[in-house]
């Protein structure tokens, strides 16, 4: 199965601990990620949080709700979070967020690795990249006020 990787960095006017806490809460992704309209079945276990996120894809008046399983791990407190996503259609995505303190805030780098069947590859990469850019722009809007 083909695997694609891409990364983006944004500078935010908030300390790493604030961003880490925000991104560790599954409810923060509603509105932060443009496709996420709900999170359900949140379960906290030792070192990880698992939940179901509902992605809503729209095509005119029609929509399709895609339920994805997410395992969110705070790898290194205030430094690194990793999300492992299992989506229908044999799509697998891992997003790693690295936080580094800078003068006046934090440099946040999100690296994405996504695997999908060849037939879905173009759509999946386009959507994942678009969602990443929108999520980082929303973080900048929220934390750079």
Per-residue pLDDT of 101-141, as tens digits, reads 999 999 999 999 999 999 999 999 999 999 999 999 999 99
In this model, does residue 19 exceed pLDDT 90?
A: yes
pTM of the model: 0.92
pLDDT for residue 22: 96
User: Average pLDDT of the chain?
Assistant: 93
Domain containing 97 equals: 3-143
Domain tally, the chain: 1
Assign residue 126 the CATH number of its domain. 3.30.530.20
| 35 within 8 A of 132, measured Cβ to Cβ | no
The confidence score (pLDDT) of residue 128 equals 93
- Rounded mean pLDDT of 64-68? 90
d(CA 1, CA 4): 10
Query: What does the pLDDT read at residue 17?
Result: 96
Tell me the pLDDT band of 13, cut-offs 50, 70 and 90: very high
Structure-token match 């722009």, residue found: 137
Q: What is the rounded CA–CA span in Å between residue 120 and residue 115?
A: 10
DSSP state letter for 25: S
**Amino acid 31: pLDDT:** 86
């Amino acid at each position: 199965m083909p695997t694609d990787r891409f990364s983006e960095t944004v500078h935010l006017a908030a300390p790493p601990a604030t961003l880490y806490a925000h991104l560790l809460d599954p409810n923060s992704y509603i509105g932060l990620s443009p496709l996420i309209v709900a999170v359900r079945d949140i379960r906290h276990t030792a070192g990880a949080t698992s939940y179901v996120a509902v992605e809503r894809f729209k095509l005119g008046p029609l929509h399709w709700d895609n339920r994805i399983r997410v395992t969110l791990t705070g790898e290194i407190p205030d430094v690194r979070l990793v999300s492992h996503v299992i989506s229908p259609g044999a799509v697998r995505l891992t997003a790693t967020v690295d936080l580094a303190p800078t003068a006046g805030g934090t440099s946040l780098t999100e690296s994405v690795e996504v695997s999908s069947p060849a037939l879905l590859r173009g759509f999946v990469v386009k959507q994942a990249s678009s969602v990443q850019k929108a999520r980082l722009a929303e973080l900048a809007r929220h934390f750079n006020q």
